Structure 1
Amino acid sequence: MMLKGTKLYSILTGACPKCHQESMYDTKNPYILRDVLKINDHCSHCGTRYRMEPSFFYGSMYVSYGVGIAFAIGTFIISFLMLETSLITAFIAIVISLIAFGPIIMRLSRNIWINLFMSYDKSLVKKD
Structure 2
Amino acid sequence: MAVLDSGPFFHGTKAKLQVGEFLTAGFRSNYRDTVVMNHIYFTALAKGAGLAAEIAKGDGKPRVYIVEPTGQFENDPNVTDKKFPGNPTRSYRSRLPLKVIGELESWEPYDPEFIRQLRRRIETGMGEIIND
The question of a shared fold, defined as TM-score above 0.5 by the shorter chain, is answered with no
Higher strand share: 2
Higher Cα Rg, which structure? 1
TM (normalized to structure 2)?
0.24
Q: Which has the higher helix share?
A: 1
Query: When the two structures are superposed, what TM-score results if normalisation uses the length of structure 1?
Result: 0.24
